[in-house]
Every structure is written in C-alpha cells, then in structure tokens.
C-alpha cells in the first residue's frame, strides 16, 4: 500500500527532482518572507506606536505570521506542486515507466487551474480544521486531518491523471481506486505537518500519485 510513497522518496536524489525541489524551496521561502514581512509591517503601522511597543508588536506579528505559515504550508505546497507537476511526473515516468507514450490528456491550463483550485480547497479545509481543533480538542484535529487528506489525495490524483485523460475519466478512475488514493493522501498530509519534511511535499506528492495511477495500467 505504501509503495508509491517509498518510490517517491527513493527518487528524491534524481537530478531532475532536485532541480524542482530547489525551485519549490525558493518559491516557499518567497511566500513566507512576504507573509512575515507584510504582517510585521501592517502591525507596526496599524498601532502607530514608537519605541519598544512598536518593536514588540512587530515581534508578535512575526511570530503569529510564522505560526500561520507553518499551519498553512500544505495549501501553499499544493499550489507550488501544481506549477512544477509536469517536470516531476516526467521524471518519474522516465525512471519507472519508460514504456509510456508522451502524455496527451487535458490541456496544461486546465491542469494548472485544477491545481490552484485544489490548493484553495485545502486552504479552506485547513482553516476549518483549525477551528475544529480549537472547538473540539483532539477529535476536531483528527476530523480536520481526515478531511484535508481527502482533498489532497483526490485533488492531486485527478490533476496527475489529467495529463493522460480527460477530467471526467480521471474522476471515474479516482472512484475505482479511492481507498488507495485516500491512504496515500493521508500520509502526504501527515508529512505536510512535519517541519523540514514538509519542504519535500511539492516533489513527493505528484510523484506519489503517478505511482498510484500506474497501478492501473488500463489508465
């Protein structure tokens, strides 16, 4: 069941994967620098304070932005993964499935759009899981994680499958393999909550879903 995750980890050292990983790290760093810098700037000016009060507000704002950045890393990683998905998928197919023909499924613009939509859905569900975790400690966190795992697994699988088929066919294929997809989505969601390990998610997630897709050669 966990072969797709293990295979994705096994290929991290591939030069093509390392190139994507470097770009995704730079994109992630830029996103969080903007988030932290913007939060500190807005708090500093909103309070219109001087001296130690302004600096304290800036530090608190930066800490809050950092915490929000860690919590919201998963949707950001999904959006970044959608931007580099084609490179990752091609690297996986070249290494593991060289017999495959060139992909000829949904248009690239549709894939990018779906990736952004999935990122937005995961963002909304992450915020909902935060509310649930605060309102129902323990159970709320578990429910939020399960819902996010469903959105991440289904969204990424359909996005990867659309490289080789229409959106309708990809959705039908998801129904056939949803247990496998949800299991791997749950593992990816857990990885997305672990600092440093979550930096690998933009590479691991699409690579994992390629392996899940290729379990059904009829696809």
pLDDT digits (tens, 9 = 90+) for 113-146: 766 777 677 777 767 766 766 677 767 667 777 8
pLDDT value, residue 212: 92
Region 187-201: mean pLDDT is 83
Q: With bands split at pLDDT 50, 70 and 90, how would you rate the model's confidence at 209?
A: very high
pLDDT, mean over the chain: 77
Q: How far is CA 31 from CA 8, 27, 28, 93, in A?
A: 25, 6, 5, 30
pLDDT value, residue 96: 92
Residues 6+ apart with CB under 8 A from 41: none
Higher pLDDT, 91 or 119: 91
- In the numeric block, the tokens 């499935």 are attached to 97
DSSP state of 14: S
pLDDT value, residue 40: 57
E strands within the chain? Answer: none
Q: Is the pLDDT of residue 102 over 70?
A: yes
Cα(122)–Cα(155) distance, integer angstroms: 9
DSSP state of 137: T
Query: What is the C-alpha radius of gyration for the chain, rounded to an integer number of angstroms?
Result: 19
Cα(115)–Cα(178) distance, integer angstroms: 19
pLDDT tens digits for 138-186?
676 677 778 778 888 888 898 888 888 888 888 899 999 888 999 998 9
Q: Is the pLDDT of residue 43 over 70?
A: no
Q: Is the pLDDT of residue 219 over 70?
A: no
CA nearest neighbour of 65 among 45, 46, 41:
41
Q: What is the model's pTM?
A: 0.74
Q: Does the CA dihedral 162-165-167-169 come out positive or negative? A: negative
Q: How far is CA 137 from CA 131, 133, 141, in A?
A: 10, 5, 7
For residue 62, give both structure tokens.
């930066």
pLDDT value, residue 167: 83
Region 63-89: mean pLDDT is 70
Please report, for the chain, the start and end positions of each structural domain, with discontinuous segments joined by +. Answer: 3-214
């Amino acid at each position: 069941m966990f072969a797709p995750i293990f295979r994705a980890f096994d290929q991290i050292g591939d030069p093509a994967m390392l190139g994507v990983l470097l770009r995704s790290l730079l994109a992630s760093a830029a996103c969080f620098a903007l988030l932290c810098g913007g939060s500190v700037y807005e708090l500093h000016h909103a309070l219109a304070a001087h001296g130690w009060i302004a600096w304290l507000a800036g530090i608190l704002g930066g800490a809050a932005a950092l915490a929000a950045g860690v919590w919201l890393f998963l949707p950001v990683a999904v959006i970044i993964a959608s931007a580099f998905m084609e490179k990752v998928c091609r690297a996986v197919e070249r290494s593991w499935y060289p017999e495959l023909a060139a992909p000829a499924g949904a248009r690239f613009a549709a894939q990018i759009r779906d990736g952004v939509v999935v990122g937005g859905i995961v963002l909304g569900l992450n915020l909902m899981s935060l509310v649930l975790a605060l309102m129902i400690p323990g159970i709320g966190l578990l429910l939020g994680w399960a819902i996010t795992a469903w959105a991440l697994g289904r969204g990424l699988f359909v996005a990867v499958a659309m490289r080789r088929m229409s959106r309708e066919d990809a959705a039908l294929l998801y129904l056939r393999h949803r247990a496998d997809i949800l299991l791997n989505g749950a593992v990816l969601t857990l990885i997305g909550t672990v600092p440093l390990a979550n930096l690998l998610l933009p590479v691991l997630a699409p690579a994992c879903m390629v392996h899940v897709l290729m379990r059904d050669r009829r696809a």
